[in-house]
Amino acid sequence: MAEKLLDIQNLTKYFSTKKGLLHAVDNISFHIDKGETLGLVGESGCGKSTTGRLLIRLLEADRGQILYNGDDVLKYTSRQIKEARREMQIVFQDPYSSLNPRLTVFELIAEPLYVNRVYKTKSEKEARIKELMDTVGLAQRLITTYPHELDGGRRQRIGVARALALKPEFIVLDEPVSALDVCIQAQILNLLKNLQRELGLTYLFISHNLSVVKHVSDRIAVMYLGKIVEVADYKSIFVNPVHPYSQALLPRYRWPSWMVSGSGLFWKGISLVRSIRHRVAAFTDDAFTGRKSVLSRRRSCCRLAKTAMRPATLAINET
């Protein structure tokens, strides 16, 4: 049986707002096993980020228990919290705003090492920074560049390197790819998966993008209005969601399992035929829609231009 890294019981966080008390996280209980990725999904404002921040004590909980390797994180002293932060890290959603624009890549990755006074000598620190850059796939030549000179994927790699700097065991990934282009998303997701395999990391992966969560998670927790309404392995959630909110969130997957793969292939086939037809239609007159092709439109433009030119030419000749 898998060993629990985190066991969360009745975790609660309320915010005082102008409209009254907001139940951002409302009495939730779940666990995260060592080495697994638990996906946390739900619509915007349901309390996902607040949950992530509570787990690593970036926010103070109002009530509940967070057992980390059997110890209650909520009872830690400030010194114990500082030590625990080495083992529990977070990667934020927006690599554009989460990095200090005045620091170079070297300084950004060095920051957690300096703050926590991990390495004694300068050369040890430099070696660790270079090692971290290799680990996350950042070229050494980028060491003196600033975040604004880099694309979103590279900035997020800096965020991952900063999170890894203190050799953590558990990382909260708070929408780590939502601010990135689709192809860069895939690179960062693969990086995170490889790092998990190599370093034995445990992730809480927060996202509202279901296909991303499906790609990376071992189990998925569905959150709705501050409560966790369902936790199950990813196949059960996608093929046979039990809670009505999970069903609403995953409408496409309410088909029987044997139909999911079949219908997927069918729609892929249809979209392939459509894209081929559109490409062909761009160069030939489209018999289906009656639309003129690019070539036909160009020919008629030339014809129009010639007719328009004729009287003017005649007029010049006559004078």
Ligand X SMILES: Nc1ncnc2c1ncn2[C@@H]1O[C@H](COP(=O)(O)OP(=O)(O)OP(=O)(O)O)[C@@H](O)[C@H]1O
Interhelix angle for 122-135 vs 152-164, to 10°? 130
6: helix, strand or coil: strand
- Exactly one of 2, 10, 29, 45 binds ligand X (CB under 6 A); which one? 45
Among 37, 50, 98, 156, binds ligand X (CB under 6 A): 50
DSSP letter, residue 47: S
Between 68 and 224, name the residue whose CB sits nearer to ligand X.
224
Tell me if 47 contacts ligand X by CB under 6 A. yes
Does 227 engage in binding with ligand X (CB under 6 A)? no
In the set 8, 24, 201, 231, which binds ligand X (CB under 6 A)?
A: 24
> Binding to ligand X by residue 208, rule CB under 6 A?
yes
Gap between the Cα atoms of 170 and 204, Å rounded = 8
User: How many angstroms separate the CA atoms of 154 and 140, rounded?
Assistant: 12
Please identify, using beta-carbon distances, which residue of 48 and 85 lies nearer to ligand X: 48
Residues in 94-153 at the binding interface with ligand X, rule: CB under 6 A: none
Among 199, 179, 225, CA closest to 34: 199
Q: Is 15 in the site for ligand X (CB under 6 A)?
A: yes
Structure tokens that stand for 47 in this block: 């309390």
Which residues, at least 6 apart from 135, have a Cβ–Cβ distance to it below 8 Å? Answer: 161, 164, 195
Residue 55 binds ligand X, judged by CB under 6 A = no
Options 41-49, 121-129, 151-159, 179-187: segment touching ligand X (CB under 6 A): 41-49
- In the bound state with ligand X, the residue whose beta carbon lies nearer, of 51 and 89, is 51
Rounded CA separation 282/86 (Å): 57
Torsion sign, CA atoms 127, 133, 135, 139: negative
Interaction between residue 266 and ligand X (CB under 6 A): no
Q: How far is the CB of 10 from ligand X (least distance, A)?
A: 18
Interface residues with ligand X (CB under 6 A) are 15, 17, 22, 24, 42, 44-50, 208
